[in-house]
A = this chain, B = another copy of it.
């Protein structure tokens, strides 16, 4: 449903709109970790890290596997695919700008050679 997709995009974009949460994703993309292991790597409290992880879980970007007292966290990139698809619609806009810049630089290079 369109509404669900919009809500999912809100969640994903909101989740990655924070430098600590982006750093947590980068860490988990290198491999699974426990909450404690992640907390050791960031200069914020365990409670602070836990809050960020919950935001990432709600967005579907982090999954939690509970084995006894150990909570293992893993990165799930799938929600980013929707977000990237939304962004790809606008790729043409900045690529057009870069193309125009390249054409401009090329024509300057040519006119210099002619001098």
| Interface residue ranges, A against B (CB under 8 Å) | 6, 9-14, 16-19, 22, 25, 29, 75, 77-78, 80-81, 83-84, 86-91, 93-94, 97
> How many copies altogether?
2
Assembly CA distance A19 to B8 (angstroms) = 10
Q: Which residues of B contact A19 (CB under 8 A)?
A: 6, 9-10
Q: Interface on chain A toward B: helix, strand, loop, or mixed SS?
A: helix
Q: Which residues of B contact A11 (CB under 8 A)?
A: 17
Closest to A98 in B: B81
Q: Are A84 and B84 in contact (CB under 8 A)?
A: yes
3 residue pairs, one from A and one from B, having the closest CB atoms: A77-B93, A13-B17, A14-B17
Q: Which residues of B contact A83 (CB under 8 A)?
A: 87
